[in-house]
Amino acid sequence: MFRRYVSRFAFAIAVGALWLVNGAPLRAQGPPDIVWMTRHHTTWVNALSFTADGSLLASGGEEARAKVWRTSDGTLLRDFNTGTAVRGLSIAPDGSTLTTVLFERSVQFWSVTDGNQIASFLGHSAYMYAARYLPDGSLVATGGTDGLMKFWQIPRSTPVKTITSPEWIRTIAFSPDGSLVASGGQNGGIRIWHVSDGTLLRTMTGHTSGITAVDFSPDGSLLASSSFDNTVRLWRVSDGALLRTMTGHTNWVYGVAFSPDGQTLVSGGRDGTVRLWRVSDGAQLARYDQETSSVVYSVAFSPDGETFAYGGADGRVVLARNPFAMPKVAGTLTLEDYTGALPATVTFEMREPGEPTPFQTAEVSLGEGGVFRLFAPRRGAFDLSVKVSHWLRRTIAVDTSGGSVTDLNISLLNGDIDEDNEVTLFDFGALVAAFGSIPGDSNWNPNADLDGDEEVTLFDFGVLVKNFGVLGDE
């Protein structure tokens, strides 16, 4: 069913010497470090799409099949007969549904859960190439050569909204927060639109031929594009400025995608190569020209950044390891003496060891029980620092030289009502001023509700007494 690669020998030859003594990158040639490969498709693989958790990978082929794979081992889970060629495809973030767009103008919705077709209808008046779910999965957008971008709510066959572009739409991508959508046109124009009302934010020009793919960076500040002009380009979203042009492909570039840490791009094209690029300076980090097919039509990074996928002209779907994946930092954040709802996100600071000023910050979502996960800023030693409202700052040393660190347990002491990173008489004064209050009272102070029960009581005084005189880390 698929080929499983367990030997790392070929990988060592290909990318083991990516860095010279002086630190300059070498352009690796040969095959990537393949996790699994399958040739269940019989011809071009035009589109790839991961679920948000990376557990599933969907692929769409010219032979009128859409398939869903389990990424852990390459097992084929679903095989949908679409009737005609699949030119665009997107799987819902939660993996429940799959949307395919066909060259002959049909939009199809499929249930990944039970394998049944939910709906199929004529979606556009001309050929279609693009499909993409909003990050929250509430809507799916499609784009076609009729110049229309339509937003659908499954299973309805009437669009919720429509955006009109002055040129064919070959590709679309949403910003991470879902507020913006980018479209790439047949004539080389890139447009960024407000999702809320469909108004045009800006147009970027510079490519000399049609756009084949666009993708936002994980923080939404950058947009990458690929084109029939053989280049990959990087744009600043805030003002549309062209930051750099990456050359190296010798023929059309069909796909480009950001790694989840925002530091690497993957591209694939008609020259039969898959390439990795460094975002910071546009340097080509790796070039793979074996086990890639004569043409690479589609590329995608897995959500954890550990792997990337590509689809070829010979029907292959390949999952390969990303040699430039940044280590992960993960663990549990405990807010002591607190029974209320956890904040949705917290800010982590990354600092040079022993230094008080951060060189990088990250807004990180907290999962159930305070579980957190973020990309390390680099391989090596750094300090990780966090402070949350009325808890004292905690700074710990982290070293990712040996890879990901995923067993951190960080506890924050409570009682810093005035947020000056120490528990003093000023905090007692603030609590006295709010004593007896509940939300809506004129003297309500949420920071004084130390235990999170939406009432300032003697229990909150107890927390202050317990931690009085304690200083947070610098």
pLDDT recorded at residue 21: 29
> What mean pLDDT is predicted for residues 27-54?
92
Structure tokens at 469: 């005189």
Q: How far is CA 219 from CA 140, 222, 365, in A?
A: 21, 8, 14
Residue 385 parent element (H or E): strand 381-386
Cis peptide preceding 353, ω within 30 of 0: no
| CB-CB contact of 376 with 398 (8 Å) | yes
Burial class (CB in 10 A: 0-12, 13-18, 19+), 237: buried
CA pseudo-torsion sign 182, 130, 52, 243: negative
- By mean pLDDT, which of 17-31, 155-169, 338-352, 424-438 is the weakest? 17-31
pLDDT recorded at residue 4: 37
pLDDT recorded at residue 403: 86
**Cα 408 to Cα 424: distance, rounded to the nearest angstrom:** 29
Mapped onto helix, strand or coil, the DSSP state of residue 34 is: strand
| CB-CB contact of 149 with 142 (8 Å) | yes
Residues forming beta bridges with residue 122, ordered by sequence position: 106
**Cα 87 to Cα 145: distance, rounded to the nearest angstrom:** 12
What tens digit of pLDDT does each residue of 396-434 get?
Answer: 999 999 889 999 999 999 999 999 999 999 999 999 999
Burial class (CB in 10 A: 0-12, 13-18, 19+), 317: buried
pLDDT recorded at residue 10: 37
Report CA 3 to chain centroid distance, whole Å. 27
Q: What is the pTM of this model?
A: 0.80
> What mean pLDDT is predicted for residues 118-129?
93
**Cα 41 to Cα 48: distance, rounded to the nearest angstrom:** 12
Residue 426 parent element (H or E): helix 425-434
DSSP alpha helix (H) spans, 71-179: none
**Cα 377 to Cα 303: distance, rounded to the nearest angstrom:** 17
Q: How many residues does the chain have?
A: 474
pLDDT recorded at residue 1: 41
Has residue 100 got a pLDDT over 60?
yes
> What mean pLDDT is predicted for residues 121-131?
93
Has residue 275 got a pLDDT over 60?
yes
